[in-house]
Structure 1
Amino acid sequence: MMIRWRDNSIRLIAFFMAVLLWVYVTNEQNPVSSHTYQVPLTVQGKPEGYVLSGLPGKVSIKAKIPRNLSATLRLSDFTAQVNLRGITEGEQQLPVQVTAPPGVEVIQVTPKVVRVAADKITQKNVPVTLNLKGEVARGLVQGKPVLQPQTITLEGPGKLLAGINHVGVAVDLSGVENDLVKEVTVQTGVKGVTASPSRVLVTVPVTSLPVKELPVRVELTGAPAEGYLVGEVAVLPATVQVTGPKQVIEALTEVNAQAVDISGVTKDVSREVGLVPPNGVISLQPKQVHIAVEIIPEVIEPQPDPEEEPEQENPENITGQ
């Protein structure tokens, strides 16, 4: 029994020595080195009707490669996949599955697990709002805009659609002289969200404003110097043209000129003054008028002397008649 144990021990030691010798010779003749590859991450079982986020485009793979393989090894010999079959709405963690050629040992994968957020694609109807910029040509007024259609359908991830209650389109009216009819592209402003239809028709009526001839009212402030009075006040032109919305124009009876101060004056006043535009009026023509104020000396009638006796009539003259 003792001799048999010794024989087995010698054989076992010899086996280990052979293995060590093989490993040594192999490493010497065909050494192993580490290499890192950036491998594209592919997806299996991508579900229909979902938008995915969080998936990296590549993963980093570190592998031990023998010398005899390193010269012929290509990046396409590695694969990195994540399986999305059965994924549900929300966020979940999925492992990265890596394959390598025979004889190559993968020692590290970064990341090993990816965090994937799945959002279901839905639809939502929202109203279209119109933002008007600029003003139509002078003397014209814009009417009530019309949008066709007034509601559109948005499509995209449910979380994104939840924050959208309307979409806007903008139209510039600067200098427009006639009815504006224009197709405008709908911009959702959110990546991944589309609109259907993608264009809406905007119609903005443009009409002329009514014009009314109104007299000019002059306001004088202060008073002339002592011994002088205000005579005739003349306005040139006496009337002006007022342009504005019908309801505004119909309520006006006159246009005020800026006040003219005549405090302490002793001679005629001649001045160009501006007009005060009434509320809601679009334009005044002209915008200023010439005002002439006549200043005249005050005339004092002579008063009789109370101490002077009135002349008596001759009685003879009376009887002689």
Structure 2
Amino acid sequence: MDLRTNLGLKLTAIFLALAAWVYVHNLGDIHKDLKVVVDLSGIPDTLEMVGEQPPDIDVRLRGPESSLVNLSPQKVNLEVNLKDQPLGPGIHTILLDASMVRRPPGVAVDRLSPSSFQITLENRVNKEVPVVVNLRGEPAAGFEVVGTSVVPARVVVEGPESVINKLDSLFTASISIKNARDTLRLELKSLPVVAQVHLVSPDTQVEVVVRIRPIQGEITLQGVRILAAGVPAGVTADSASPRLRMQPATVTVHAEGPRVQIERLTAADLVVVVELAGRNGQDLDLAAGDLAVRAADPQALDVQPLTLSVTVPATIRVSWSGGD
């Protein structure tokens, strides 16, 4: 029999049979579109990805209704492993194909959109940077921050080269000093870092000291009285005594300390004491450093927080005659 007889009819029959087979084979299949996150791995430890992350990929799946109707994006993985690719700093185009999609058996991948994406890689570098104390708020009225310290003072960070090169310091977590009146001492369990920056020693604990004191002031007081201590018997411990002569009878005192106390201080609150015990009855020239500035009434004034010094004159002449 000649096979070429009725060739057109025979080809039509074959086409119809093939179409019927495809129809029967796909009978009951449905399509489902899912947006899937890219699971990227295989980047060498010496490199880090910067810039935009891989986009979510629209995946069109085809398969039995029983396999797809309740299928969620969490059960479909798009695994992109770059371990066998020659990678270095720069921009790389990653091509996607159906073999990268992990899906249930009997489910096919009809489409991936987009079918590729780009990543940018940079060298991973490290750098030592100072730790800076991050303060929030203000101390109580009349108080001030005079300094901070932190241990460790410097830490080593690592990350993409472009990010690390711009990093000049690392801040601690925010520390409130609102209404504080005394020095604060804190222990912080960790240091916050900016995106893509890592601590080489992530378990580093930090000790912070914030030194707070009253706001300081100063004043110069003229006419502060001079009194003598350890005077011989019969000699009045006052410059008005005819047997005790001090020139001059008053001095100028410079005072430094908490401003709230300095603002209330007057010359009448202080006395300058000349110690005469053990000295011979003769003329003495005492330098300002030999004099002690004290409170005229220790019960009314605490001079402990103050720094007091005689500034004028440079020396005081003291003379007296012997006692009875």
Q: Normalising by structure 2, what TM-score?
A: 0.51
Q: After superposition, where does 1:32-71 map in structure 2 within 5 Å?
A: 32-52=29-49, 54-56=52-54, 58-65=56-63, 69-71=64-66
Pick aligned residue for 2:151 from 131, 148, 153: 148
CA gap of 1:149–1:171, structure 2 versus 1, over 3 A, is farther
Q: Does 1:165 align with 2:168?
A: yes
Residue in 2 that maps onto 1:204:
211
Distance 2:263 2:254 in 1: 5
Pick aligned residue for 2:196 from 183, 192, 196: 192
Structure 1: segments with no counterpart, 5+ residues: 217-240, 247-279, 288-321
CA gap of 1:43–1:146, structure 2 versus 1, over 3 A, is closer
Distance 2:19 2:149 in 1: 89
Structure 2: segments with no counterpart, 5+ residues: 224-252, 267-324
CA gap of 1:103–1:209, structure 2 versus 1, over 3 A, is closer
Q: After superposition, where does 1:6-17 map in structure 2 within 5 Å?
A: 6=5, 8-17=7-16
Distance 1:31 1:130 in 2: 66
Deviation of the 1:192 alpha carbon: 3.3
Amino acid across the alignment from 1:284: E
Q: Deviations over 1:123-172 (max 9, x none)?
A: 2111234566645885x887665443332222333222111112345673
Percent identity among equivalent residues?
19
CA gap of 1:243–1:111, structure 2 versus 1, over 3 A, is farther
Larger radius of gyration: 1
Q: Does 1:118 align with 2:121?
A: yes
Deviation of the 1:39 alpha carbon: 3.5
Distance 1:174 1:81 in 2: 54
Distance 2:90 2:138 in 1: 46
Residue in 2 that maps onto 1:301:
none
Distance 1:102 1:173 in 2: 62
CA gap of 1:158–1:23, structure 2 versus 1, over 3 A, is closer
Distance 2:210 2:106 in 1: 72
Deviation of the 1:95 alpha carbon: 1.4
The residue matched to 1:5 in structure 2 has which SS? coil
Question: What's the Cα RMSD here?
Answer: 4.7
Q: Contact 1:122–1:158 at 8 Å: present in 2 too? A: yes
CA gap of 1:130–1:4, structure 2 versus 1, over 3 A, is closer
Amino acid across the alignment from 1:172: I
The residue matched to 2:67 in structure 1 has which SS? coil
Distance 2:77 2:58 in 1: 11
Residue in 1 that maps onto 2:17:
18
The residue matched to 2:194 in structure 1 has which SS? coil
Q: Contact 1:50–1:157 at 8 Å: present in 2 too? A: yes
Deviation of the 1:109 alpha carbon: 0.9
Q: Contact 2:158–2:197 at 8 Å: present in 1 too? A: yes
Q: Deviations over 1:185-234 (max 9, x none)?
A: 67455133244544144363869979867249xxxxxxxxxxxxxxxxxx
Q: Which moved more, 1:81-90 or 1:191-200?
A: 191-200
The residue matched to 1:214 in structure 2 has which SS? strand
CA gap of 1:31–1:151, structure 2 versus 1, over 3 A, is closer
Deviation of the 1:285 alpha carbon: 0.6
Amino acid across the alignment from 2:66: A
Pick aligned residue for 2:112 from 71, 91, 109: 109
The residue matched to 1:117 in structure 2 has which SS? strand
The residue matched to 1:162 in structure 2 has which SS? helix
Q: Normalising by structure 1, what TM-score?
A: 0.51
Residue in 1 that maps onto 2:319:
none
